[in-house]
Amino acid sequence: MDTASDRAAEEQQWIGRIANRDRAALKLLYDRYAPRIFRFVIRMMKDEAGAQELVNDVMLEVWKSAENFEGRSAVSTWILGIARFRTLNALRGYKPDTVGLDQSAELEDLQAEASQVKGREQLKVLLRKALDRLTSEHREVLELTFFHGYNYREIAEILQCPENTVKTRMFHARSKLKPLLERQGLSATDAGGVP
Tell me which residues in 69-128 interact with another protein (CB under 8 A).
Answer: 123-124, 127-128
Is residue 59 a contact point for another protein (CB under 8 A)? yes
Q: How many whole angstroms separate alpha carbon 154 and alpha carbon 156? A: 5
How large is the angle between the packed helices 23-45 and 75-91, nearest 10 degrees? 50
Which residues lie closer than 8 Å to 119 by C-beta, 6 or more apart?
Answer: none
Is residue 3 a contact point for another protein (CB under 8 A)? no
Distances (CA, A) of 133 to 45, 129, 162, 173: 13, 6, 24, 10
Closest contact distance (angstroms) between CB of 61 and another protein is: 11
In angstroms, how far apart are the furthest CA atoms of the chain? 57
Cβ–Cβ under 8 Å, residues 83 and 54:
yes
Is residue 30 a contact point for another protein (CB under 8 A)? yes
Closest contact distance (angstroms) between CB of 194 and another protein is: 5
Count interface residues toward another protein (CB under 8 A): 52
Contact range with another protein by CB under 8 A, out of 6-14, 80-88, 89-97, 138-146? 138-146
Q: Is the CB of 77 or the CB of 93 nearer to another protein?
A: 77
Which amino acid, residue 148? H
**Closest-CA residue to 98 (of 69, 121, 124, 129):** 129
Closest contact distance (angstroms) between CB of 74 and another protein is: 12
Which residues lie closer than 8 Å to 150 by C-beta, 6 or more apart?
Answer: 76, 77, 80, 144, 158
Contact range with another protein by CB under 8 A, out of 22-30, 78-86, 90-98, 103-111? 22-30
Interface with another protein (CB under 8 A): 19-21, 23, 26-27, 30, 34-35, 38-39, 42, 48, 51-52, 55-56, 59-60, 63-64, 67, 123-124, 127-128, 131, 142-143, 145-147, 149-152, 154, 167-168, 170-171, 174, 177, 181, 184, 186-188, 190-192, 194
